[in-house]
Amino acid sequence: MENISENASPESLAKWYVLHTYSGYEAMVKDSLERLIENNNLQDSIFDLKIPMEQTIEEKNGKKKVVERKLLPCYVFIKMIYSNQVWYLVTNTRGVTGFVGPQGRPLPLKEDEVRKMQLETAVIDADFDVGDNVSIDAGPLAGFVGKVKERNDSAQKAVVNVLMFGRNTDVEVEYVQIRKLNAVEKPSAPTEE
């Protein structure tokens, strides 16, 4: 067995893949895979399972409530080290129709896809401070430019003042969604206080 690195953990070698499931079977597939990992001691091969969810506001009978919905119905994301044995066990799990990729063979997600799907919560050293102009590059507020009002390093979130609908509005965004504008880049819309 070759020694890849003295301090490389097995998880650092794992990649994210996408499983296709029958409609409505996502939670059952996730539970079945968690049991499969436990029963077959696959903790060193399969590291994480996610069903991306989003919160939406639904109005029913005049009342608004927050509802969690599947961001991508019929899909489960799996972080694993690929091997034929793991492929066989996962694809033979009830409710799984196969991996997303050519001929049902897993195709790993690229790093930018993992970031966009927010499958991993990476700790980021913010390169911006309170008062800096930033661009929101991801999420529902992508395209907005504003000024940082607060930073919360433990939550990895910042409060940014943006011009929205003709008004200055404070919004909370994750560090991974924003980047600092350099001195040459000017905000496209005024952000006055």
| In the chain, domain spans | 10-117, 122-193
- Cα(11)–Cα(104) distance, integer angstroms: 23
* Phi, psi of 59, rounded to the nearest 5 degrees: -110, 125
pLDDT tens, position by position, 146-168: 999 998 887 788 899 998 888 89
* Amino acid, single-letter form, for residue 165: F
Let me know if the fold of 10-117 is the same as that of 122-193.
no
Query: How large is the C-alpha radius of gyration of the chain?
Result: 21
C-alpha 174/C-alpha 24 separation (Å) is 30
- pLDDT of 2 strictly over 50: no
For the stretch 110-156, pLDDT in tens is 887 887 777 776 666 778 889 999 998 887 788 889 999 998 887 78
CA distance 169 to 193: 10
The two counts, helices (H) then strands (E), for the chain are 4, 11
Q: Is the pTM of this model over 0.85?
A: no
Instruction: Say yes or no to pLDDT of 4 above 70.
Output: no
Amino acid (one-letter) located at 97: T
pLDDT of residue 7: 55
Separation between Cα atoms, residue 5 and residue 185, nearest integer Å:
41
Res. 76: pLDDT tops 90? yes
CA distance 33 to 25: 12
Q: In Å, how far are 46, 54, 65, 67, 170 from 77, measured between CA atoms?
A: 11, 15, 27, 21, 33
Whether domain 122-193 has CATH 2.60.120.200: no
Q: What pLDDT is recorded for position 193?
A: 43
Q: What is the structure's pLDDT at 17?
A: 94
Instruction: Give the pLDDT of residue 37.
Output: 94
Cβ-proximal residues to 177 (8 Å cutoff; 6+ apart), any chain: 136, 137, 138, 139, 141, 142
What's the topology of domain 10-117?
A: Alpha-Beta Plaits (3.30.70)
